[in-house]
Structure 1
Amino acid sequence: MTEIVRNQWYVAAYGHEVGRELLARTICDEPLVFYRAEDGAVVALADRCIHRRYPLSESRLVEGDRIVCGYHGFTYDRTGACVAVPAQQRIPRSARVASYPVVEQDSFIWVWIGDREYADAAAIPRAPWLTRDGWTTICGLETIQGRHALLMDNLMDLSHETYLHGGYIGTPEVAETPITTEVDEAAGVVRVSRHIDDAECPPFYANSTGLTGRITRWQDIEFAPPCLYRLHSRVAPQGHYPPEGYVPGAGAAADPGAFHTEIVYALTPETEHSVHDFWAVARDFATDDQQVTDFLYTSNHTVVMQDVVALNLVEQVIAEEERVGGTYQELSINIDTGALAARRLIANLARTEASRT
């Protein structure tokens, strides 16, 4: 199983979650508190007062972007510096909580947990469809009581759609169709593609697009470990293929006659044994149809919860095996090549991080 790599950007929240109310969230075993300053910028601080470890998220935000601890009144500015303590004028030099680099992009709030000197905002992968004109997006968040690697494996191998998500997004053809896997070492991206020429149209698409017959279905994954997963999903009437040179993700302007959804997941470790599962689905069809939006939200949330239940169970099994000191020889097959490649890239990131310490 893979480990938590700290010197990376992780999604901590959706932009709409962060306002003038204090938001608590644990990222990579670090309790953090988020809020939006008066100028609109997002602030991330350690969620523990330096005095007696009281959660700052259970405190209050006052005018001037300062948090007043709800236990003894220690007050912190947006940089994490303590600017007031009770019953004395002198503020101890060490009185501050950690602050963390934050970037707001593509509807996500990204945070850097590791060493600040390596926090390059230009390295954050993009998901522009989530806020792009001509697309409509639904989104949600579930926290899985299972390690990051389990969710990563789940998303990199979509053959499980046939069995776990039958009746929603899965059909027999998904598991029956071989995949191609490509690793872009320079970009740090794993690509997994499954192009199905003739498939049953699952309810997720039939009820949102109006397609009733057989379809041509493409699934093109791009995963930038450790956090951002993008699935370019294309469905069209059977036999309808995109123009030559079509790039997955280009949408209807480059591929008229097909229906495109951009399915985005952010995999953010909460702890070593739990992971935040941020999910979003953007579409370029029926963009103003609220019934389609409601249907896709309900359907995708159901699919996500099926994953949550399954991965919680797997984590329980693994934890029990680890508790009793058992050994398990994992068996991988062709459908696992994407997941194995992603694990390898994360191991490389971990080695690079270790070499810097």
Structure 2
Amino acid sequence: MTSFVQDQWYVAAYAREVGRELFSRTVCGESILLWRTRDGAVTAMSDRCVHRRFPLSEQPSHLAGDTVVCGYHGFTYGADGVCVAVPGQTRVPRTARLRSYPVAEQDSFVWVFIGDPARAEGTRIPRAPWLDRAGWTVVSGMEPLAARSSLLVDNLMDLSHETYLHGGYIGTPEVAATPITTEVDEEAGIIRVSRHMADAECPPFYADSTGITGRITRWQDIEFTPPCLYVLHSRIAPAGVLPNPDGTDPDAFHVEVVYAITPETESSTHDFWAVARDFALDDEAVSEYLAKSNRTVVLQDVTALDALERVIAGEPDGHQELSINIDTGGLAARRMIARMAQR
């Protein structure tokens, strides 16, 4: 039995990845074919021909107008997944149709709905508006993770690991030393974890991108919408600088770090990451620096989580874990995801 949360929207790709070439990605164990029609709309369907299961993303399969032609025997499908032509006969079998997935473009992502298509319209797609909003500049990427998605959720909900795993990039002693607050909003389906550091060392990730020298005020406010969208609201300012009473914050730098956590299989994950900033908007050097640095940080996580997956996969069920205060956000996420899976 699958452990994937069904009847949910998941990120399948960045919008920039999907065009007039057949493109495939596995989401929650389902191989999905993505492509754009001639008018630019994204369509999503099963990446397996109904005839002999040939992957439609493999050459010599190709697009012919707004149809997909299987490169093995020529079965041809419309944008709705319905077969419109088969070789050697004029009658198309009534059951010759691919599974079609509800699909949506939002906030630079292509989302697909996994589960009962009839429930898609009534299911909210989580938002990350900074990725496609004026006044923000974004760098982004995706790294494959040879580990189950729950390990990435644990990793992101507890940022104390920055001090140890990401020292020299984003980690400083204050991150691990500062207590957190955790709030679970059951009605909204959001878990919030906050860590506010009043006087902290400025890590290279922020010093080299903002130009701040000396100590900083550093806020980390996490919002996680299970099962798949994580946002870290990061605020950086010189030590002692706080937002104005009216809520404006002109003397700080703001970074929105977004992760779309998409299970590929039971033991592998697509780790989509993006960093949006409200400063140095047209500075290509800053963009290049943040892209390179954040990818390095992501790859450090990948290495650690891949190792952890190997350990867990090789241990008998029922191994013990020790959890402490820093794990409250991650444990809340586990509980909420487990309830969603049961439903």
Compute the TM-score of the two structures, normalised by the length of structure 1: 0.94
Is residue 163 from structure 1 mapped to residue 158 from structure 2 by the alignment? no
Work out whether residues 38 and 65 of structure 1, in 8 Å CA contact, stay in contact via their aligned partners in 2: yes
SS of residue in 1 equivalent to 2:206: helix
Is this contact kept in 1: 2:235–2:255, CA < 8 A? yes
Aligned to 1:339: 330
- Counting only pairs closer than 5 Å after superposition, residues 179-328 of structure 1 correspond to structure 2 as 179-244=180-245, 246=247, 254-321=248-315, 325=316, 327-328=318-319
The answer for the alignment partner of 2:70 in structure 1 is 69
> How far apart are 1:351 and its partner, in Å?
2.0
* Contact 2:8–2:123 (CA under 8 A) maintained in structure 1: no
Q: Which residue identity does 2:83 align to in structure 1?
A: C
Question: Residue in 2 aligned with 1:12?
Answer: 12
- Determine if contact 2:75/2:86 at 8 Å carries over to the other structure: yes
Alpha-carbon distance between aligned partners in 1 of 2:224 and 2:7, rounded to the nearest angstrom: 18
Which residue matches 2:83? 82
- Which amino acid is 2:158 matched to? D
Residues 204 and 299 of structure 1 are in contact (CA less than 8 Å); yes or no, is this contact kept in structure 2? yes
Letter in 2 for 1:148: S
Check the 8 A contact 2:45/2:81 in 1, yes or no. Answer: yes
Aligned CA-pair RMSD:
1.2
- Using the TM superposition, give the Cα deviation of residue 65 of structure 1 relative to its aligned residue in structure 2, in angstroms: 1.1
* Cα distance in structure 2, aligned partners of 1:194 and 1:178: 7
Query: 1:30 matched to which residue of 2?
Result: 30
C-alpha distance in structure 1 between counterparts of 2:245 and 2:193, whole Å: 20
Counterpart contact for 2:22–2:63, Cα < 8 Å: no
Structure 2, unaligned stretches of length 5 or more?
Answer: none
Q: Find the aligned partners of 1:36 and 1:146 in 2 and give their Cα distance.
A: 30
Letter paired with 1:140: G
Unaligned ranges ≥5, structure 1? 247-253, 353-357
Deviations 1:41-91 (A, max 9, x none): 101010000111100011433333111001010001011111000111111
Query: Residue 43 of structure 1 contacts residue 78 of structure 1 at CA under 8 Å; is this kept in 2?
Result: yes
| Matches of 2:184 and 2:317, distance apart in 1 | 33
Counting aligned pairs with the same residue, the percent is 67
CA distance in 1, matches of 2:82, 2:117: 17
> How many aligned residue pairs are there?
341
For residues 56-135 of structure 1, what are the structure 2 equivalents within 5 Å?
Answer: 56-59=56-59, 60-120=61-121, 123-135=124-136
Following superposition, the deviation at residue 290 of structure 1 comes to: 0.5
Segment drifting more, 126-135 vs 54-63:
54-63
Alpha-carbon distance in 2 for matches of 1:237, 1:288: 23
For the residue of structure 2 that corresponds to 1:56, the secondary structure is coil
| Partner AA of 2:28 in structure 1 | C
CA contact (8 A) 1:193 1:221 kept: yes
Name the residue aligned to 1:53. 53
- Which residue type is aligned with residue 290 of structure 1? E
CA contact under 8 A between 1:103 and 1:121: conserved in structure 2? no
